[in-house]
Amino acid sequence: AVKKLQEIVTNPLQKNPFLPNPKAGRRQDRDHNERNHARRLEQEMQAERNKYKKLQSEKEEEISVLNDDITKLKRELDLRRDDIEKLKRQLELRGSIDNVSLTSEEFEDETKDRLESWVQIPTRNIRRGGWKRQFA
């Protein structure tokens, strides 16, 4: 029996009754490694999806802010164009009349059409002094 034990210990190629079947172990290890690899790939894919969704929502938010800015700037541009037109009309009126004495009634008629001025509106918190100027 001692000789048999010594043969088993010294010759690892011989079938060892104390160790499990090496073929089955390799297959189980391979299956386990494949499952781990698949799980790891799924986790990476889920992380990439989450990152993409977050980036997409940030970009959509930026686009909406930019669109709001564009509409605001268009409104301001229209108001400035109207102001320019009004000033051009006043300039033409002054240039066409020989004497410079214009009555204030002519200018009052034009200002009665539209009342506009700058208004200061609180942003978030009045106590912190957050006021923004808007044209009304």
Q: What is the 3-state secondary structure (H, E, C) of the chain?
A: CHHHHHHHHHCCCCCCCCCCCHHHHHHHHHHHHHHHHHHHHHHHHHHHHHHHHHHHHHHHHHHHHHHHHHHHHHHHHHHHHHHHHHHHHHHHHHHHCCCCCCCHHHHHHHHHHCCCCEEEEECCCHHHCCEEEEEC
Q: Within a domain: residue 54?
A: yes
Query: Into how many domains does the chain fold?
Result: 1
Average pLDDT, the chain: 78
Q: What integer pLDDT is reported at residue 95 of this predicted model?
A: 74
Q: What integer pLDDT is reported at residue 49 of this predicted model?
A: 96
pLDDT of 108 higher than 60: no
Q: What integer pLDDT is reported at residue 91 of this predicted model?
A: 85
Q: Within a domain: residue 13?
A: no
Q: Which domain holds residue 124?
A: 18-91+110-135
Write out pLDDT tens, residues 50-97.
999 999 999 999 999 999 999 999 999 999 999 999 999 888 888 776
Q: Within a domain: residue 81?
A: yes
pTM of the model: 0.43
Q: Within a domain: residue 100?
A: no
Q: Within a domain: residue 41?
A: yes
